[in-house]
Chain A
Amino acid sequence: DSGVTQTPKHLITATGQRVTLRCSPRSGDLSVYWYQQSLDQGLQFLIQYYNGEERAKGNILERFSAQQFPDLHSELNLSSLELGDSALYFCASSTPGVDYGYTFGSGTRLTVV
């Protein structure tokens, strides 16, 4: 157990639908990063939150949004889903000033049918 918790582990939904993925960072970590991993693209950075504030944006579609709550858990909302959104979605957390890396959760496998 890495300490980063993601739910659900698997999600199957239809095109056009909306889903919410949840991430609880490791205790003490203030930053949460969301990544999308598909077979042909590798790990793509989506968005980062730090202590409730959006800090950096990557290749995140307008149909996707995220937020970080006061208890530091984060949610990634994916709407108007398309077949191409099928992927593994990971969140990672980090501790400022401690460079032993970013700790990843076990991911949510999203399948859009």
Chain B
Amino acid sequence: GQNIDQPTEMTATEGAIVQINCTYQTSGFNGLFWYQQHAGEAPTFLSYNVLDGLEEKGRFSSFLSRSKGYSYLLLKELQMKDSASYLCAVREATGGSYIPTFGRGTSLIVHP
């Protein structure tokens, strides 16, 4: 099993930068994902990290440190449409398969 922690809620201003942290404990790490989910909608894939370091994708970047069990999602030039829940998911081996386990999500509120 694993324990995934991320803040429940964050607020930020349009145009600013926000960093959402995720810490985890797992016995068989096999990758970390970030998803965006608007209320009542499907989670959509943002990023994937399996090696230490920073992955950059436009306004979104994700960082991983496996030794520290730590990741963050960095959102730049925030827009109102970025108001959503951000889910950190850690994949580990489960009975012969690899299953992503999700944290409870961080609700990001972007205000003007």
Contacts and interface: CB of A to CB of B under 8 A. Distances in A.
Interface string A87-113: 010100000000111111111010000
Contacts of B33: 101-102
Contacts of B105: 42-43
The secondary-structure label for the interface of chain B is strand
Nearest to B33: A101
B101 interface: yes
Contacts of B100: 45, 102
Tier of interface size on chain B: 20 to 34
Contact of B97 (A2, A56, A102): A56
Tier of interface size on chain A: 20 to 34
Contacts of B96: 55-56
Interface of A: 2, 33, 35, 41-45, 48, 50, 55-58, 88, 90, 99-107, 109
Given A56-B94, A102-B33, A102-B45, 9 more contacts: A42-B87, A43-B102, A43-B105, A55-B95, A56-B95, A58-B94, A99-B31, A104-B43, A104-B44
7 contacts: A2-B42, A42-B104, A42-B105, A45-B101, A57-B95, A88-B40, A109-B40
